[in-house]
Chains A and B, each alone.
Chain A
Amino acid sequence: MNSAVKTNERAGIDFGRALKDGVIVGIIAFALLGPLVGLKTEQNMSNELIVQNRLGLAAILSVIVGVGRFLLSAFIYPRIAARGNRSKAAATLAELEARAKLTQGLSIVGLIFLFVYPLLIISLFGVQGSIKWVDNYGVQILIYVMLGWGLNIVIGLAGLLDLGYVAFYAVGAYSYSLLAINFHLSFWVLLPIAGMLAAFWGIILGFPVLRLRGDYLAIVTLAFGEIIRLVLINWKAFSGGSAGISSIPKVTMFGIYSFDVSAPNNFAKAFHLAASSAYYKVFLYYIILMLALLTAFITLRLRRLPIGRAWEALREDEVACRSLGINTTNTKLTAFAIGAMFGGFAGSFFAARQGFVSPESFVFMESAVIVAIVVLGGMGSMIGVALAAVAMIGGTELLRELDFLKAVFGNDFNPDQYRMLIFGLAMVGIMVWKPRGFVSARQPTAFLFKRKTVSGDLVKEGHG
């Protein structure tokens, strides 16, 4: 049996065909890369566009693409095909159980790691050196984890595709900024207010789109997101226009200690520590960690309540849902409102952390990134969403660290500019490779006798 498979595999490698594939793909790549990469338009001294010849570079890139395709055709595809023939039966129940156990264990380890992460970093890099790791990686990733979990309620549980989630993020950020600056209220008072305002906007947005389904809903939410951003840009008296709002007050440690350098109750001074912004970053890290965990906890609890069950029922079959007497209007509105509320929380945290907000932070791309995180993680799976956020945000953030590449490609090589390009390629690649996302096991909250784990393929994606 084993040898039969092997001969089969060897017979599967058809070099002639692979070579043909590679050459054709290389030629197509050159036809496209030739003009786009090979003929670079540049402005000369007299501000006229001229064409700079880089066809050699384009040829090298095309050869790389062609060789890549040759290797794929010659080695990877036959192997995938062979594997597909061998075990057509998808994951069995036992495998799924094991996988679910693994994710459970992983989440406990991950949780402990998240709590000790800042301490670990400080002990490794010192107080001052920790800033980058805690702020750029820890806080940044956790914001996206929280946004992903918030949007997961709308997309993953209720099955409503929302492409304008960033609007609620913006509502939260601007509510905190404007109320904190104009009324001098503390972050801890404004956090729930910002959440409530965002939820209110969620309902306002939810009402008109209730009748829409599928891609129409996606487009209307996209349009709403853009409208809010354009209003923020143009209503200068209210929002400061595209210049944004600056010097937003920092978060205080519940009013007891402040992180303002000039304040008498400054945290570092009170504890006789060397002045550093690292303490503030660590404090922010724990705030966003708690907020994210709050989101996760509430979501997990809500899934067991009638409302959560109704969301999932709505995702599975709206018509059946309605005929069983579930009020689909309220169900959809609560999903929008609660999802938006968490977006608002994250937004006000974002404003407090940056100290500056402008409409630039709330472009459509931001919504797309959050949706991508939710879908790439496997919709409805909390741990999957968290993993996707770490991979996509942390991974692209790591590109900023690749300064050693300058030694290879010359000094004007800037790895940072490839960040979004690689992000997009990763999105496409992951979708083609695993259309169901990273985590493919689900644990329904409703079960007979015993908790069960099912494959993600059995879960519908919703109509809205």
Chain B
Amino acid sequence: MEVFVQQVINGITIGSLYGLIAIGYTMVFGIIGMVNFAHGDVFMVSAFFALIFLLVLTSWFGIASMTLALILVMVVSMVLTGLLVWAIERVAYAPLRGSFRLAPLISAIGMSIVLSNFIQVAQGPRNKPIPPVTRDVYTLWQGSNGYPVNISLKQIIIWVVTALLLAAFWYVVQKTALGRAQRACEQDRKMASLLGVNVDRTISLTFVIGAALAAVAGTLYLMYYGVVVFSDGFTPGVKAFTAAVLGGIGSLPGAVLGGLLIGLIETLWGQYVSADYQNVAAFSILVIVLIFMPQGLLGRPEVEKV
């Protein structure tokens, strides 16, 4: 029982990160029907931004307060990652809008290769470890067999930050003009532009918002695991995409739900079935869900018009 609860806590933590990344996939897919393959690598680059600024803040400016450093690092990483993705969208995706379907996909795969190799060249191929940001661990209860159920401060930070950001994000999508424009473009791009929505700008901002959420995930990932390497984009990226598909691609609550489920399934599978096949489990779920429920848990069924 204690082991189970402990693994659920760990699973929700990882799942929150997947959920944050998955929103980027699901929003972009919803608005322009494109799988942004480079999103996983954008997440990795954002973790590098966080790493670099954490080091700069602590060693050059001598900021001792970890809370302040973390908040600053997260904001900087969000801004820079947003800028990066805005530039990528302008250079590699925007010229291909209205072109045939495979072109942006190939362009995105190319971008993903560029990002991971650029980081490898610019920052070196080695693991980048940082000293733990905090070591605080709280014991929730002591199990009868002496096995404690713990929750670390890092996990609490991840839960709280994710919840706050999702609330803010929900507000943006539901209540602001930008969110309204976004939903309009999602339903009918041509009609939206006829009604005065700047479609190009809305699409760019969608990419940027997705990138900012990925940057939060990247910063939290760096804080949680304490290490990042240039090849870290692919696996979390594919898992987050799995989460987006599982929840129903195009659906925002679905992405978060999918992320949490993938995180839970993965940790529980690793605990009870086989740690070696942990990643196989995630991919198998993707296959099974797509085959039996292509619209996902909360997605709309695709209606084909002839």
Contact = CB atoms under 8 A, between A and B. Distances in A.
Closest 7 A/B residue pairs (Cβ): A427-B110, A424-B113, A424-B114, A435-B103, A421-B117, A428-B110, A223-B283
Contacts of B95: 432
A224 B245 CA distance: 15
A421 B114 contact: yes
B60 A209 contact: no
Interface string A413-450: 00001101101111110011001100000000000000
Interface of B: 29, 33, 35, 45, 48-49, 51-53, 55-56, 59-60, 80, 83-84, 87, 91-92, 95-96, 99-107, 109-114, 117-124, 126, 128-131, 234, 238, 241-242, 245, 276-277, 279-280, 283-284, 286-287, 290-291, 294, 304, 306
B113 A234 contact: no
A43 interface: yes
Interface in A380-438: 417-418, 420-421, 423-428, 431-432, 435-436
B80 A432 contact: no
Contacts of B123: 36, 40-41
Contacts of A418: 117, 121
B92 A40 contact: no
Contacts of A218: 35, 105
Contacts of B129: 47, 49
A320 to B, nearest CB: 8
Nearest to B276: A234
11 contacts: A28-B83, A211-B294, A212-B291, A230-B283, A364-B234, A420-B113, A424-B111, A425-B114, A427-B113, A428-B114, A461-B100
B277 to A, nearest CB: 6
B60 to A, nearest CB: 7
A428 B111 contact: yes
Interface string A136-176: 00000000000000000000000001000000000000000
A365 B113 contact: yes
Given A216-B290, A227-B284, A234 B277 contact: yes
Between A35, A40, A50, the greatest number of chain B beta carbons within 10 A of the residue's beta carbon is seen for A35
B19 to A, nearest CB: 18
A428 B93 CA distance: 9
Interface string A214-249: 111011101110110011001000000000000000
Interface in A106-136: none
A35 B53 contact: yes
B244 to A, nearest CB: 10
B287 A372 contact: no
A432 B110 CA distance: 11
Contact of B279 (A48, A161, A226, A421): A226
B100 A32 contact: no
A19 B238 CA distance: 41
Nearest to A51: B55
A42 B106 contact: no
A319 B113 contact: no
A426 B123 CA distance: 22
Given A211-B291, A319-B304, A427-B113, 10 more contacts: A31-B80, A31-B83, A39-B56, A41-B51, A41-B124, A223-B242, A424-B110, A424-B113, A427-B110, A435-B96
A288 B223 CA distance: 50
A255 interface: no
A208 interface: yes
B102 A379 contact: yes
A216 B245 CA distance: 9
A82 interface: no
Contacts of B35: 215, 218-219
A461 B117 contact: no
A436 B87 contact: no
Contacts of A28: 83, 87
Contacts of A461: 100-102
A251 interface: no
A457 to B, nearest CB: 9
Given A28-B87, A32-B84, A40 B109 contact: no
B53 A208 contact: no
Contacts of B51: 41, 49
A376 interface: yes
A179 interface: no
A158 to B, nearest CB: 14
A42 B87 CA distance: 27
Contacts of A161: 102, 105
A200 B39 CA distance: 34
Between B80, B238, B284, B290, the greatest number of chain A beta carbons within 10 A of the residue's beta carbon is seen for B290
A209 B286 CA distance: 12
A209 B291 contact: yes
